[in-house]
Amino acid sequence: MVAASHDHLYILSKLIGKDFKIRYRNMSLGIFWSLLNPLIMVAVLTYVFTQIYKSNIHSYPLFVLIGLIPFNFFTLAWATGANSILDNAALVKKVRFHREVIPLSVVLGNVIHFLIQMLLLMLLIVAFGQGVNRQWLWLPVVLGLEIIFVCGMALAFSALDVYYRDIRYVVDSANLVLFWLVPIFYDFDDVPRDYRLLYELNPVAAVVLACRSIFLRATAPHETLVWKLTLVSFAALAVGLLLFGRMKRRFADYL
Amino acid sequence: MNLLELHDIGKRYFLHHKRQLLAQRVAGAIRRDRNSFWALRHVSLSIEAGESVGIVGANGAGKSTLLSIAVGVSAPTEGTVVQRGRVAALLELGSGFHPDLTGAENIELNAALLGYTRAQVEQAFDSIVDFAAIPDFIDEPLRTYSTGMIARLGFSVAVHVDPDILVLDEVLAVGDQEFQKKCMEKILEFHRCGKTLLFVSHSSQAVESLCQRAVWLDQGAVHRDGPAHDVLAEYRSSLNGVDVVPA
């Protein structure tokens, strides 16, 4: 069949390159927006939670940034990934290639920004925080699992979005809720025991908690947390691939 | 050998313009009374290597549906499709083109989507630029191009794929006359090399000049299938002698 002869890695790289180029080509600050954006958020949150609500968290800006970067990656990649098939309706209707490439290219495009932001975070931690420690070796594992999780979510929701156009509002609302229910600007230790279950199964919260213990306490993430994150991430990927695979046959009819 | 075989193809579309709300969807699914219509029914078609086949028919006869099933973009409701060899489907020109990318970047993206490998793009790149005849603009963003230039670029990428079957959907109605002539020559040359052509058009003239065999689709079924000259003569007379002018 035709699709088998396609060089899908090449298509993937070209689609990622396209998104990257059109996003920054006409901006004078270019890629620096990727860095400026979380820094602005950190400044605002730091103002609110050190000047208005007196938080007693040590080095608050770094604390917030560690939560914000994995959260931002998740929300952006999930939201743009979920819309990706609809956004590329013309391609899906007219060209034959594995459709999975579309949401995956969107997620991987966001990974580039994510990694740039993580690099900035590491520099800031070396400059103002605790410096490098051995537990940083956990970072590729934790971030890799988050990427896998987002790939699964983007696949599943981009396929559903074709049939149920409400999905984009569901995703937007969920992201809004997550900002408050992921420990970004507060400490997980302050969460009452009754509500902890809300966090235990949330992979985004798990990634934030893991990053905090690596960067701020120089301790390895909890073993159970890593296992849960692994399980949920691969389950999300499996469900995403399965759902997408079943639904993609009729994409062209619904676009 | 048949490069493309369609066996008893049917394609049903559901009319669901009133069934978007959840409650209605659930009700519809339970009652199973959704409105549907068959865009194609019981269509069989075999295309041998080296043939040039044109598909004609009125608006809504099922031409575009047939092509998208033949190239695998959409799945048939019934029947089977067998493809052998490499199919280049040109259901539109310039798939994936983006106005903010340069001509060169668009060539690479479009070529990747059409099935080129990286090595093939590198090899064909100069020849693609040459054929499109836009060397001075190749590093400018596409939004500075005229419509005709964009069409030329799209066509140029498409004809360099070197497939076994070239599937074209009325993409010739673009560019100035000179470029249209160049496109026709390229397609004829392609056919002379023993390649197979499947072509859909409103224009019976275009079909006649490119194809030896014609298939006349009417209301989702094959009405006539035979030598282009005979089928097209009949098709024209059914239109009261008024041929459809190319767009």
Highest averaged pLDDT of the listed ranges A146-150, B95-99, B108-112: A146-150
Instruction: Report how far residue A187's alpha carbon sits from residue A63's, in angstroms, rounded to the nearest whole number.
Output: 9
What average pLDDT does chain B have? 84
Please tell me the total number of residues recorded for chain A in this structure.
255
A21 shares contact with chain B (CB less than 8 Å): yes
What average pLDDT does chain A have? 91
Instruction: Report how far residue B132's alpha carbon sits from residue B171's, in angstroms, rounded to the nearest whole number.
Output: 15
Residue A168 Cα distances to A75, A107, A151, B21, angstroms:
12, 16, 16, 16
Among A63-67, A114-118, B18-22, B151-155, name the one with the lowest average pLDDT: B18-22
Question: Quick check: pTM over 0.90?
Answer: no
Q: What is the mean pLDDT of residues A186-210?
A: 90
Inter-helix orientation angle A203-215/A139-163, to 10°: 160
Task: Work out the pLDDT band at B33, boundaries 50, 70, 90.
Answer: low
pLDDT tens column, A231-241: 999 999 999 99
pLDDT number for residue B174:
64
Task: Work out the pLDDT band at B17, boundaries 50, 70, 90.
Answer: low
pLDDT number for residue B179:
78
Q: What percent of chain A has pLDDT over 70?
A: 98
Instruction: Report how far residue B233's alpha carbon sits from residue B228's, in angstroms, rounded to the nearest whole number.
Output: 8
Q: What is the mean pLDDT of residues A217-222?
A: 92
Nearest CA in chain B to A23: B100
Contact status, residue A65 vs residue A116, Cβ threshold 8 Å? no
- Residue A169 pLDDT more than 80? yes
Specify the higher pLDDT residue, A8 or B177.
A8
CB contact under 8 A, A18 and B98: yes
Task: Work out the pLDDT band at B247, boundaries 50, 70, 90.
Answer: very low
pLDDT number for residue B37:
84
Task: Report the first-to-last Cα separation within chain B, whole angstroms.
Answer: 35
Contact status, residue A228 vs residue A200, Cβ threshold 8 Å? yes
Beta carbons within 10 angstroms of residue B36's beta carbon: 12
User: Which three-class secondary structure state does DSSP give residue B17?
Assistant: coil
SS (H, E, C) B92-153: CCCCCCCCCCEHHHHHHHHHHHHCCCHHHHHHHHHHHHHHHCCHHHCCCEHHHCCHHHHHHH
Q: What is the mean pLDDT of residues B76-98?
A: 84
Q: What is the mean pLDDT of residues A154-183?
A: 94
Mutate to test the interface with B, among A12, A21, A96 (most CBs of B within 10 A): A96
Contact status, residue A19 vs residue A88, Cβ threshold 8 Å? no
pLDDT number for residue B188:
85
Task: Work out the pLDDT band at A47, boundaries 50, 70, 90.
Answer: very high
Strand spans (E) along chain B: 2-15, 35-48, 52-56, 78-83, 87-90, 165-169, 196-200, 213-218, 221-227
Q: Can you list the alpha helix ranges (DSSP code H) found in chain A? A: 2-5, 8-24, 32-47, 60-87, 89-94, 101-128, 139-163, 167-181, 197-200, 203-215, 223-247, 251-254
- Residue B221 pLDDT more than 50? yes
Residues of A in contact with B95 (CB under 8 A): 90-91, 94-95
Which of B73, B101, B112 lies closest to A94 in CB terms? B73
Beta strands B2-15 and B78-83: pairing type?
antiparallel
Mutate to test the interface with A, among B5, B24, B73, B196 (most CBs of A within 10 A): B73
> Distance from A119 to chain B by nearest Cα, in Å?
28
pLDDT number for residue A179:
94
A49 shares contact with chain B (CB less than 8 Å): no
CB contact under 8 A, B113 and A5: no
CB–CB contacts below 8 A, A to B? 83
- Residue B4 pLDDT more than 70? yes
CB contact under 8 A, B113 and A253: no
Residue B28 Cα distances to A129, A253, B16, angstroms:
60, 18, 10
Residue A50 Cα distances to A58, A63, B105, angstroms:
10, 12, 48
Contact status, residue A198 vs residue A181, Cβ threshold 8 Å? yes
User: Which three-class secondary structure state does DSSP give residue B69?
Assistant: helix
pLDDT number for residue A255:
82
Compute φ and ψ for B42, nearest 5 degrees.
50, 45
Task: Work out the pLDDT band at A2, boundaries 50, 70, 90.
Answer: very low
pLDDT number for residue B242:
56
Mutate to test the interface with B, among A6, A24, A87, A253 (most CBs of B within 10 A): A253
CB contact under 8 A, B114 and A95: yes
pLDDT number for residue B151:
84
Q: Find where tokens 């490439």 sit.
A: A101
pLDDT number for residue B240:
66
Instruction: Report how far residue B120's alpha carbon sits from residue B116's, in angstroms, rounded to the nearest whole number.
Output: 6
Amino acid at B190: F
Enumerate residues 6+ apart whose C-beta is below 8 A from A236: A148, A149, A151, A152, A153, A156, A203
Enumerate residues 6+ apart whose C-beta is below 8 A from A100: A155, A241, A244, A245, A248
pLDDT number for residue B115:
84
pLDDT tens column, A77-101: 999 999 999 999 988 988 888 999 9
